[in-house]
Amino acid sequence: MQIGTYKLVPGRPALMGIVNVTPDSFSDGGRFLGPDAALERALTLEGEGADVVDVGGESARPGSLPVSEEEEIRRVVPVIERIRSRSSVPISIDTTKSAVARRALEAGADMINDISAGRFDRDLLPLAAGAGCPVCLMHMQGVPRSMQEAPSYSDLIGEVRGFLFEAAGRALEAGVAEERILLDPGIGFGKSPMDNVTIIQNLRAFVEGLGGRSFPILLGTSRKSFLGKTLGHEVNQRLEGTLATLAVAVDAGVSILRVHDAAPARRFVDAYLLCRS
């Protein structure tokens, strides 16, 4: 799969660096809200080894409320324009809204990262198809405001896999090319802490696919609350736990690792691949 200037390489997962242009994201809300601060954050991530930067203007933390498409566009488009004027690093737009995705692609974004898997805006998948860009579809039980109130599954892995491959089918029906689809099991989105651990333990089931069809897997575990709730670690103490999940993801064949801390993640992944080879 090609994402802008970057081509995914089997056996070497790409790093996706997080650029939150929001006042309320769970880990770094407000730190990179202005376009210039967000630009510097993106360039720093690139310099630290991120292969892709993921720009988002709406927090999806548990309990968060949606923002208008006008506000989201106001937050992300100037950032994407600035990044593109200074760098050729591939840019992902983290949004559920087709209007935001369209403006982001026009500003220079290369990929759409949709936590709703095309469910919140029926025009998003046709937009991705028309643009010919990669699109990542994530599993989420419920919506951000209420997803952590009482997540429940009778067959966690089966239900999440089924959801993702149904979403991939909808993308294909909308005209998205098979080689442009990525899937994300949605760590922290409508799951209990141990649900998240179970998904990480079973990542191969997602990488191997379903019904003879498989897609690249994107995984976002960075600094997430399940590490705090299971291990008692505060947000600023979760780097080592995050790196542990990356080791499992590399072994399972995950294609993209979404991280806040690009430099230690790059050093860790490179050393792990070297020692494992």
Catalytic (active-site) positions? 224, 258
- Token pair, residue 4, equals 């802008």
How far, in Å, CA of 176 to CA of 187, rounded? Answer: 24
**208 and 185 Cβ atoms separated by less than 8 Å:** no
How many CB atoms are located within 10 Å of the residue 30 CB? 13
User: Where in the chain does DSSP place strands (E)?
Assistant: 2-3, 6-7, 14-20, 52-56, 91-94, 111-114, 135-138, 181-184, 218-220, 256-259
DSSP structure string for 32-87 = T-SHHHHHHHHHHHHHTT-SEEEEESS--STT-----HHHHHHHHHHHHHHHHHH-
β-bridge pairing 91-94 and 218-220: unpaired
- Token pair, residue 137, equals 């579809």
